[in-house]
Structure 1
Amino acid sequence: MARKTFFSFHYQEDVWRVWNVRNCLVVSKDQEADGFFDGSVFEASKKESDDALKSFLRDGLKNTSVTCVLAGQHTAARRWVRYEIVRSVLKGNGLLTVDIHGIRNDKQVLGVKGTDPLAEVGVYLSKGKLYFAELKAGKWVQYSDYVSSIPASELWFDAPTSENTVVKLSQHCMRYDFAAQNGRENIAGWIETAAGLAGR
């Protein structure tokens, strides 16, 4: 079954590598890929308010069941990648990380492997309520772009039970290497696995 998948990535740094991933999905016809916004659309939206950009990204996630984070060297620290991850959790999407540093860019240069973006966003329990956390300057802090509590019933993974202990999203999600693990042939299966883990 074709999965409608949202792809989260750092546009300026990795767009060439991302389009290589997209092209293999289009050719395979195994997936219906969403989230590949034209750069001019995304850049124009960034000139609007934060609320307008958040709305733009939420709209992009509509009707998707999996969010695939295409990770390069600096993806983990990107504010809007983190927002897409958080909104994906709230939506119940399956999540996975695919490292793309092993794909050459338009100058035929390989990238540098970065941190797993799903390891820098987590969930924690405080006074009986669940909240999102993010890693900033080496410390876990409350996630600032979504400060409401999260109903445990909306999580597809087990909610943390110890107060003020952050559970990283990466503990519940798979991470793959596109170049080293033959992503051209296998990414559709990785996406399907993520969907299954989330019960989608």
Structure 2
Amino acid sequence: MTRKAFFSFHYQEDVWRVFNVRKCWAIGKDREADGFFDGSVFEASKKESDEALKAFLRDGLKNTSVTCVLAGRHTAARRWVRYEIVRSVLKGNGLLTVDIHGLRNNKQVLGVKGTNPLDEVGVYLANDKIYFAERKDGKWVKYSDYASAIPASELWFNAPTSNTVVKLSKHCLRYDFAAQNGRENIAGWIETAAALASR
């Protein structure tokens, strides 16, 4: 069966580095990538409305089983990366972070390692219901782009048992593309994330 992965990233900052990762993933049988939409399509959806962009991103996640967050310096703070992460959890996708700061951009400049985006989104229990949270200005707040409660049955990891936020990174692995030979290993990392989520 073909493994279809969704790649979440900060377009303006990291697109050159991301396409280097995409090339590695595309080499090999039974692999397809999504999330690599043209920047102009993304910007056009953004101009329509937030709801139009959300629908566009949800559509991009269809038929995928793993979401790979390609993290650069500013990725963790990006609103739409966080939305892709939350929707991935709701969909049951496996999740992983791959740091790409060790790759050069189109000016041959290396990046700066950023915060793990999966450290900035979490889940917590309130009034016997589970909700998403995100870090803003150093504090955990209820996630505003998806405020509904999450059934525990929809989580592939253990549900939170208190109002203390559990970061998604607790359940997901993080890799360094340059330092850990991502060219050879990214397919295995994605398969591990799929296995953790029973996908």
TM-score, normalised by the number of residues in structure 2: 0.98
Q: Deviations over 1:71-95 (max 9, x none)?
A: 0000000000000000000000000
Match of 1:125 in 2: 125
**Who is 1:184 aligned against?**
183
TM-score normalized by structure 1? 0.98
Distance 1:125 1:94 in 2: 22
Residue of structure 2 in register with 1:62 after alignment: 62
Give the structure 2 partner of residue 134 of structure 1.
134
Q: How does 1:85-164 map to 2 (within 5 A)?
A: 85-162=85-162, 164=163
3-state SS in 2 of match to 1:28 = coil
Partner of 1:195: 194
- CA deviation map 1:126-179 (0-9, x unaligned): 0110000000000000000000000000000000112x1000000000000000
Cα-to-partner distance string for 1:2-24 (whole Å, 9 max, x where unaligned): 31000000000000000000011
Q: Which runs of 5+ in 2 are unaligned?
A: none
Shift of 1:29: 3.6
Q: Which moved more, 1:30-39 or 1:89-98?
A: 30-39
Tell me the amino acid that sits aligned with residue 5 of structure 2: T
Note closer, same or farther for the CA distance 1:160–1:168 as it changes in structure 2 (3 Å cut). Answer: same
Contact 1:100 1:178 survives alignment (8 Å)? yes
Gaps of 5+ in 1: none
Structure 1: distance between partners of 2:153 and 2:30: 31
How many angstroms apart in 2 are the aligned matches of 1:165 and 1:49?
33
Root-mean-square deviation (CA, aligned residues, Å) is 0.8
CA offset at residue 30 of structure 1? 5.0
Contact preservation (8 Å) 1:30, 1:188: no
**Residue 28 of structure 1, CA deviation:** 3.0
Could you tell me the percent identity over the aligned residues? 85
Task: Specify whether residues 17 and 29 from structure 1 end up closer, same or farther in structure 2 by C-alpha distance, changes over 3 A only.
Answer: farther
Letter in 1 for 2:98: V
- Equivalent residue for 1:36? 36
Aligned AA (1:167) = V
CA distance in 2: counterparts of 1:117 and 1:30, whole angstroms: 27
Deviates more, 1:132-141 or 1:35-44: 35-44
